[in-house]
Amino acid sequence: MNSIVIGAGFGGIAAALRLKAKGYEVTLVEKHNDLGGRARVFRRNGFTFDGGPTVITAPYLINELFELFKKNPKDYIDLLPLNIWYQFVFDDGSKFNYSGDEINMKTQIGKISENDIEGYTKLVNFTKKIFDKGFSELADVPFDKPLVMMQQLPSLLKLKSYKSVYSLVSYYVKNEKLRRMLSMHPLLVGGNPFTTTSIYGLILYLEKKWGIHYSMGGTGNIIKGLERLMNEVGVKIIKGHEVKKIISDNKKITGVQLDDEQKINANYVVSNADPPAVYENLLNESKNNSFLFKWKKNRMEYSMGLFVYYFGTKKIYSDIEHHTIKFGIKYKEHLNDIFDNKILNNDISYYLHRPSATDKSMAPEGHDCFYVLVPVPNNQSNIDWKNEGEKMKNLVIDKMEKDLMPDLRENIIEDFYLTPNYFEKDLNTKYGSGFSIQPKFSQSAYFRFHNKSEIYDGLYFVGAGTHPGAGVPGVLSSAKILDKII
């Protein structure tokens, strides 16, 4: 039996390996000349810039892919647990070192708000309950039938899934600094903490369960290890070719057509490309899609866009931790501007990555390597990034100079940036969103794009736009679902 996987993000690679382990012939087709999708690597003058994911959680999901073939993951990848997970920097200059050390967490929480220590403990206990249900039980369950969703509704309601993550955290914790810090996780998967269903509160506990890891040599080394594994076990990889059409015969998938007109026949096609873009551009949407499906697709709300500025410095900023998060002042208003009003706002929040804090190989000797990620509106905004890109770059440098890194501008010797245009044009994501559709309750589980296509026989989806959703653990779990449905 032949299968084709379209796209080599984490989800597509995991799908290819899982199908191969089940005995299928597998061809993986990737548009770019390198694998990884959002986890691609950019190398410039001795600096190694991981394009996207940097916070590695639930490492067992990566290890499993090697173990499927009786290989030792340690022969391919080197994951290092970090002591400080995130350093939060507040506007008054205070800092919070967020980690898995509960005694240290409570000491720091007590310094900000003695009364919130107990609420924090209760919050963690509650997120464990959400985790047990939402992750351990449901992350790799195919939600392709309404009955499966209906069976879960009572327990989801009991876990207060109708609340937002921010409102859940606010129930337990009263201090605004702590509320922001403990409710930021939806931003890691494309959601607004003020509207994302509290199911995603499970990420808080997921981090505690397995820790936060760094892949030595960068996240790109995980992709490299998985590519080596695919070559060893006989997954055929076609790089530098885009699938232009998924071929079907009366709603039964028969293969794909590439950008050089080559046709490849297949019994199964698994798409790691963004589902709405696939339905619109690679399939005959107007002919085949039902009214109900068109309605579902058209009412979807998309995650924010990302402005990512990669830079290398000739100075070493040894005070900067591996992961730093700085919130803007009018945080909620800023998120409204991004998600609802779709306009830019100078009061940015940002996440700063400094892999060279842990791994000197990421920058030339005596240098430092960074990226800074700023949530921005997706391309439903019609922002002209050709003009706004330079302005945003300068704004971010100004903010970082003021908040964290003195004399930054004069020390940058290498830089470039990506805008939502990259996500739309290069990665084929609708509206250039950073994480496909938003993780709202009305777009979770059965309400996302299904792992087994609701329209075509033989078509399957893995990756951020399908169940369970974005983030490396999410997309790896989506591939695990294939084991149950193919």
Position 223 contacts ligand FAD (CB under 6 A): no
Q: Which of 3, 4, 5, 7 binds ligand FAD (CB under 6 A)?
A: 7
Burial 178-192 (b: 16+ CB within 10 A, else e): bbbbbbbbbbbbbbb
Segment lying near ligand FAD (by CB under 6 A), choices 8-16, 60-68, 94-102, 337-345: 8-16
Question: Does position 272 bind ligand FAD by CB under 6 A?
Answer: yes
CA–CA dist 17, 230 (Å, integer): 7
Binding segment toward ligand FAD, per CB under 6 A, in 6-14, 134-142, 342-350, 400-408: 6-14
Cβ-defined contacts of 330-335 (< 8 Å, 24+) = 331/180, 332/194, 335/192, 335/193, 335/194, 335/375
* The two three-digit tokens of residue 409, written as one number: 């501008």
Residue carrying structure tokens 């071929």: 247
Kindly write out the interface string for residues 274-313 of this chain, putting x where it contacts ligand FAD by CB under 6 A and - elsewhere: --------------------------------x-x-----
Q: Which stretch binds ligand FAD (CB under 6 A): 28-36, 81-89, 292-300, 408-416?
A: 28-36
φ/ψ (deg, to 5) at 9: -80, -175
Amino acid at 464: A
Site for ligand FAD in 39-58 (CB under 6 A): 39, 52-55
| Least distance (Å) between residue 422 CB and ligand FAD | 9
Spatial contact of 4 and 269, defined as CB atoms under 8 Å apart:
yes
Instruction: Give whole-number Cα distances, 162 to 134, 158, 204, 293, 420, in Å.
Output: 14, 9, 18, 24, 30
Q: Is 354 in the site for ligand FAD (CB under 6 A)?
A: no
- Cβ 464 to ligand FAD, closest distance in Å? 4
- Cβ(375)–Cβ(334) under 8 Å? no
- Window 155-174: residues binding ligand FAD (CB under 6 A): none
Tell me whether residue 163 or residue 213 sits nearer to ligand FAD (CB atom). 213
Q: How far is the CB of 306 from ligand FAD (least distance, A)?
A: 5
Taking the least distance from each CB to ligand FAD, the nearer of 312 and 355 is 355
Which of positions 174-213 make contact with ligand FAD (CB under 6 A)? none
Shortest distance in whole angstroms from residue 188 CB to ligand FAD: 6
Among 101, 132, 144, 242, binds ligand FAD (CB under 6 A): 242
Give the nearest distance from C-beta 90 to ligand FAD in angstroms.
Answer: 22
CB atoms within 10 A of CB 171: 15
Task: Return the number of the residue (107 or 136) whose C-beta is nearest ligand FAD.
Answer: 136
Which range in 36-44, 115-123, 145-153, 220-228 contacts ligand FAD by CB under 6 A? 36-44
As given in the structure block, the two tokens for residue 457 are 């026989």
Indicate the residue among 218 and 434 with the shorter CB distance to ligand FAD: 434
| Nearer Cβ to ligand FAD (175/192) | 192
Taking CB under 6 A as the rule, does residue 30 contact ligand FAD? yes
Burial category of 146 from C-beta neighbours within 10 Å (exposed 0-12, middle 13-18, buried 19 and up): exposed
What lies within 8 Å, CB to CB, of 277 at 6+ separation is 428, 429, 430
Q: Kindly write out the interface string for residues 426-465 of this chain, putting x where it contacts ligand FAD by CB under 6 A and - elsewhere.
A: -xx-----xx---------------------------xx-
**Could you tell me how many residues of this chain bind ligand FAD (CB under 6 A)?**
35
Identity of the residue, 39 or 173, whose beta carbon is nearer to ligand FAD in the bound complex: 39
> Is there binding between residue 65 and ligand FAD (CB under 6 A)?
no
CA dist 446 and 468 (Å) reads: 9
In the complex with ligand FAD, which residue's Cβ is closer, 376 or 475? 475
- Closest distance of CB 165 from ligand FAD, Å: 16
Encoded one letter per residue, x for contact with ligand FAD by CB under 6 A and - for no contact, window 380-419 reads ----------------------------------------
Taking the complex as a whole, the smallest distance from the CB of residue 425 to ligand FAD amounts, in Å, to 10
Residues with Cβ within 8 Å of 86's Cβ and at least 6 positions away in sequence, in order, are: 98, 321, 323, 324, 325
- 250-287 burial, b at 16+ Cβ within 10 Å, e below that, comes to eeebbbbebeeeeebebbbbbbbbbbbbbbebbbebee
Candidate list 18, 20, 38, 430; residue touching ligand FAD; CB under 6 A: 38
| Nearest-approach distance from CB 55 to ligand FAD, in angstroms | 3
Decide if residue 468 touches ligand FAD (CB under 6 A): no
Which residue, 119 or 375, has its beta carbon nearer to ligand FAD? 375
Residues in contact with ligand FAD by CB under 6 A are 6-12, 29-32, 37-39, 52-55, 242-243, 272-273, 306, 308, 373, 427-428, 434-435, 463-464, 470-472, 475
